Amino acid sequence: VLCRRVEGFGRYEPLTTDTFIAGRPIGALGYTELDGFLARAARTGDPVQNGVPMTEQVSVELTQSLTLYHDADGLQAWHKPAQRVVETTRGARGDFYMIHTIELPANLTIGRYRLKVTVTDVTSGASDEVTMPITIVASPAPRGSR
C-alpha cells in the first residue's frame, strides 16, 4: 500500500489517490505486510538484544526492492535496489511489516505505470511480488484560464 504515514503493524494512512502530476517528485511510504517467512538462529552481526543469550534469539532476514515499469512499453522507469532487513526477537514472530521510502523522480512522462514490490525471504529463498498502479497526468490548467 502506498501511504502517507505508518505507525506500526496494520496502522497506516494510505494515500487517497494513485494519480500524480507530471513534473513533480512523488514521495510516499510503501507499506508491506508479510506472512509465511522463516526465522533462523540469530548470528553475529544481527541486531540482537543485549543481555539475552544469542541461543535464545531468532532472526528474520528479508530483502525488498522496488521497480517502476511504464505500462505502454514495459520499460523500467525507476528502480530502488533490494534493501536488507534483519529483525531479531526472543521467539518466532507471527507477523511482520516493512516500510520503504519511495521517492519517484519528477521527470516521469505522462502515462500509466506499475510499481512492483519484490520481497525475498533470505532464509528460505522464497520470493513474492505485488504490483500497484500509478498514473502520471498533465498538470491541471491554472484557475481562470481557458
The pLDDT tens digits for 114-125 are 999 999 999 999
> Can you read off the three cell numbers belonging to residue 44?
553475529
pLDDT at 146: 53
Q: Is the pLDDT of residue 141 over 70?
A: no
Alpha carbon 70 to its chain centroid, in Å, reads 18
Average pLDDT on 1-25 reads 95
pLDDT at 140: 65
The C-alpha atoms of residue 142 and residue 22 are separated, in whole angstroms, by: 15
Mean pLDDT across the chain, nearest whole number?
A: 92
31 pLDDT band, cuts 50/70/90, is very high
The C-alpha atoms of residue 121 and residue 103 are separated, in whole angstroms, by: 24
Average pLDDT on 122-139 reads 94
Closest CA to 79 of 58, 94, 64: 64
Q: Are strands 2-8 and 26-34 parallel, antiparallel or unpaired?
A: antiparallel
The C-alpha atoms of residue 108 and residue 136 are separated, in whole angstroms, by: 7
Q: Is the pLDDT of residue 145 over 70?
A: no
Q: Is the pLDDT of residue 7 over 90?
A: yes
Residues 58-106 pLDDT 10s:
999 999 999 999 999 999 999 999 999 999 999 888 889 999 999 999 9
